[in-house]
Amino acid sequence: MEKVREIWKEGRRVGKEDPRRIVHSFKVGLALALVSSFYYYQPLYDNFGVNAMWAVMTVVVVFEFSVGATLGKGINRAVATLVAGGLGVGAHHLASLSGPTVEPILLAIFVFAQAALSTFVRFFPRVKARYDYGILIFILTFSLISVSGFREDEILDLAHKRLSTVIMGGVSCVLISIFICPVWAGQDLHSLLASNFDTLSRFLQEFGDEYFEETDDGDVKEVEKRRRNLEKYKCVLNSKSNEEALANFAKWEPRHGQFRFRHPWKQYLAVAALLRQCAYRMDALNSYINSDFQIPMDIKKKLEEPLRKMSSESGKSMKEASISLKKMRKSSSSDIHVLNSQSACKDLSTLLKSGILNDVEPLQMIALTTTVSLLIDIVNLTEKVSQSVHELASAARFKNKKKSTVSSKKSDSVSTVRAMPTKSQDDHVVTILCDDDLSNTVDQSCGESSVDSCHHVAIKIDDDDDSVHEKHEDDTALVLRLLQCQVNLKQESAVSSL
């Protein structure tokens, strides 16, 4: 009785993880019940005879969880059966012309040649990825038809019945898979990639709190809970095989929703590869957080501000990329956070050159610089990820964002050039402040028209359901240009002061 309860609990857990599994089970049962009717209705059974079992076998081996996997297997099986059947008939005809003595020898040679050649072709990477099942069925069908044809007179009728039952079983699987609660592999891959972005973003945004905050003895349980949440990035490390399988299945699927027939699934794999590289760096960072050798907090605090900003801005960039994927809209919002993280990297470099760590012990210095190096790698990878997402958005023809309302007004002069995001109750505003003394330089660097006083450019963004920063592409480009000008001006002033 205890064993039955364990099985029941395991079944409930599997069903709760993905309720679509329960629906899929019913769909397979429906398909098998449908093709089994060949045995119960005499007109159908009289036409196909015992070959009707091939329809049942086709349903069992072809019906997969997703539409793409079912279509891929169904097409592979149908084409392989057709080609192997035709070649089997041809091989039997050629062998029969040689006489009863040589006929079995020729058939054995034909079976050996096709089996050896087809098995070798299965080792080709591209063939193995998409057509391995088809070649396997080709070997099986050719051998069965050739051997059975040697014993039977009506070989054409045998091949016809076998092909017909395979097609009936395959069509039944495909129709039920598409029209009854379909599971699209492309949609699963799209959602998986967005989820990976969210997971890595969460790690980067929480890294600063975990690395720089001291914990009291009474907060041990809370710290363990935070660390478990922080280590969710590990699921990204092991997602390669699942992503490749989903991309392979998605290539077989017809157009559905916003996914076209020739959707750029290969680009999804390129983005996923970059995310895994980020996850490997995060795994190394996490090992330093949990290491027995801990750097004193007073030493960490010397680099706290730039390191926090680097991790936080990189996390925000990935969050914006995730939102762009989920809504399938083009966005340059992540580029602002990439620029901010790169600016923090330059601030960190300046801080290190100032000799702030001269009094640090060698072992502590090695651990700290390793952490800094890993975080810089993540910042550089974040930029590549952002570019790769832009390429995906263009290739997949993501929609452009809604137009935003831009308003400008004059005010008193300010001492710096900066972009200040301010959030109100109903909208998001980015205010760009420009100094009188820097206006001419900014105009020359960025190609904008000069003004006599400071301008506040307020960019109002309409929120969507997720309350996300929605910015127009032109406005975002203006922000990026001004931020870049600020960095260039800082560098020029630093050089001139030297």
For the chain, what percentages of helix, strand and coil (3-state, to nearest 5) are there? 75, 5, 20
The domain boundary residue, chosen from 359, 377, 395 = 395
The Cα 433–Cα 416 span in angstroms is 7
The domain boundary residue, chosen from 117, 144, 179 = 179
Predicted local distance difference test score (pLDDT) of residue 47: 64
Output DSSP code: residue 252.
T
Task: Tell me whether residue 463 is in a domain.
Answer: yes
Task: Tell me whether residue 66 is in a domain.
Answer: yes
Task: Tell me whether residue 146 is in a domain.
Answer: yes
Task: Tell me whether residue 231 is in a domain.
Answer: yes
CB atoms within 10 A of CB 285: 23
Mean pLDDT, residues 150-166 = 73
Same domain, 371 and 424: no
* Between 227 and 316, the higher pLDDT residue: 316
Domain that holds residue 65: 2-179
Total domains in the fold of the chain: 3
User: Over the Cα atoms of the chain, what is R_g?
Assistant: 32
Same domain, 76 and 168: yes
Highest mean pLDDT among 54-68, 291-305, 454-468, 472-486: 54-68
Alpha-carbon torsion 435, 441, 442, 443, what sign? Answer: positive
The Cα 244–Cα 262 span in angstroms is 16
Same domain, 389 and 414: no
* Between 50 and 169, the higher pLDDT residue: 169
Mean pLDDT, residues 440-444 = 40
Task: Tell me whether residue 91 is in a domain.
Answer: yes
Same domain, 118 and 191: no
Predicted local distance difference test score (pLDDT) of residue 483: 58
Query: 357: domain CATH number?
Result: 1.20.58.220
- Does residue 74 surpass a pLDDT of 90? yes
Predicted local distance difference test score (pLDDT) of residue 451: 34
The domain boundary residue, chosen from 338, 368, 395 = 395
Q: Is 464 left (phi over 0), alpha (psi -120 to 50) or beta?
A: beta
The Cα 299–Cα 467 span in angstroms is 38
Same domain, 293 and 198: yes
Same domain, 115 and 197: no
Predicted local distance difference test score (pLDDT) of residue 422: 42
pTM: 0.76
Mean pLDDT, residues 292-298 = 79
The Cα 450–Cα 452 span in angstroms is 7
- Find, among 88, 32, 36, 101, the residue nearest to 60 by Cα: 32
177 within 8 A of 27, measured Cβ to Cβ: yes
Task: Tell me whether residue 426 is in a domain.
Answer: yes
Same domain, 309 and 452: no
- Does residue 442 surpass a pLDDT of 50? no
Predicted local distance difference test score (pLDDT) of residue 136: 94
Same domain, 248 and 160: no
167-198 pLDDT tens trace: 888 999 999 999 999 999 999 999 999 999 99
How many helical (H) and strand (E) elements, i.e. helices and strands, does the chain have? 20, 4
Same domain, 430 and 322: no
Predicted local distance difference test score (pLDDT) of residue 232: 83
Q: Picking from 238-247, 356-365, 459-468, which range would have the lowest pLDDT averaged per residue?
A: 459-468
For tokens 């200040």, the residue is 420
CA dihedral (226, 227, 230, 232) in degrees, to 10, reads: -110
Mean pLDDT, residues 205-219 = 72
Task: Tell me whether residue 400 is in a domain.
Answer: no
Predicted local distance difference test score (pLDDT) of residue 116: 95
Predicted local distance difference test score (pLDDT) of residue 209: 82
Predicted local distance difference test score (pLDDT) of residue 439: 39
Same domain, 95 and 161: yes
- Find, among 32, 159, 42, 47, the residue nearest to 92 by Cα: 159
Predicted local distance difference test score (pLDDT) of residue 261: 82
390-434 pLDDT tens trace: 999 999 988 886 544 444 343 343 333 444 444 434 444 444 444
Same domain, 132 and 269: no
Return the percentage of the chain with pLDDT > 70, whole number. 73
The Cα 389–Cα 393 span in angstroms is 6
Residue 405: which H helix or E strand, with range? strand 405-411
- Does residue 266 surpass a pLDDT of 60? yes
Mean pLDDT, residues 64-80 = 93
Q: Alpha helix locations (H) across 122-238?
A: 125-130, 132-151, 155-179, 185-212, 220-230, 234-237
Q: Most distant CA pair in the chain: distance in Å?
A: 106
What is the three-class DSSP state of 456?
strand
Same domain, 152 and 228: no
* Between 452 and 119, the higher pLDDT residue: 119
